[in-house]
Amino acid sequence: MAIAGDKLTFGNGGAFMQDTRREVEQYLARGRTRLRGSLLLFAKAPVAIGLTIASWAVLVFVRPGAAGAVLCLAGLVLGALLTAFCVQHDANHGAYFRRRRYNHLLGWTADALLGFSSYAWRVKHNIAHHTYTNIDGFDDDARQVPLARFAPSQAPRPWYRFQHLYIWPMYTLMGLRLQIVGDLAAFARGTVGESALRVPRGWNLAGVIVGKCIFFTWAIVIPLLVYPWWVVVGAYLGFAMITSLVMATTFQLAHCVEEAAFTSAEEACATRPVWAVHEVESTVDFCPRNPLLTWALGGLNFQIEHHLFPHLPHTHYPRVAEIVRRNCAKHGIRYSSQPSLRAALRSHFLHLRAMGRLGIPPEIEMG
Ligand SMILES: [Zn+2]
Question: Ligand 1 centre and the CA of 337: distance in Å?
Answer: 18
**Is residue 79 within 8 Å of 51, Cβ to Cβ?**
yes
339 - beta bridge partners?
A: none
Side-chain-side CA neighbours of residue 345 (13 Å) = 9
Question: Ligand 1 centre and the CA of 94: distance in Å?
Answer: 10
Q: What type of residue is 250?
A: T
Q: How confident is the model at residue 115, as a pLDDT? A: 96
Q: Among residues 5, 99, 78, which one has the least CA distance to residue 297?
A: 78
Question: Ligand 1 centre and the CA of 210: distance in Å?
Answer: 24
Question: Ligand 1 centre and the CA of 126: distance in Å?
Answer: 6
Question: Ligand 1 centre and the CA of 306: distance in Å?
Answer: 7
Measured distance CA(2)–CA(212) in Å, rounded: 36
Q: How confident is the model at residue 303, as a pLDDT? A: 96
Question: Ligand 1 centre and the CA of 251: distance in Å?
Answer: 9
Q: Among residues 151, 94, 185, which one has the least CA distance to residue 282?
A: 151
In the chain, where does DSSP find H-type helix? 14-29, 33-57, 66-82, 89-92, 100-107, 109, 118-121, 130-131, 163-177, 183-189, 202-216, 222-226, 229-255, 265-271, 275-281, 291-296, 303-308, 317-331, 341-357, 362-366
Question: Ligand 1 centre and the CA of 284: distance in Å?
Answer: 14
**Is residue 311 within 8 Å of 302, Cβ to Cβ?**
no
Side-chain-side CA neighbours of residue 154 (13 Å) = 26
Question: Ligand 1 centre and the CA of 302: distance in Å?
Answer: 11
Q: Tell whether pTM > 0.85.
A: yes
Question: Ligand 1 centre and the CA of 285: distance in Å?
Answer: 13
Q: Average pLDDT across each block of 10 residues of the chain; the chain has 367 residues. List them in order.
A: 59 85 95 93 96 97 93 97 96 95 96 96 92 88 82 88 94 93 89 87 95 97 96 96 96 94 88 90 96 96 96 95 96 95 96 88 54
Question: Ligand 1 centre and the CA of 39: distance in Å?
Answer: 20
Q: Tens digits of per-residue pLDDT, 261-290? A: 998 888 888 888 899 999 999 999 999 999
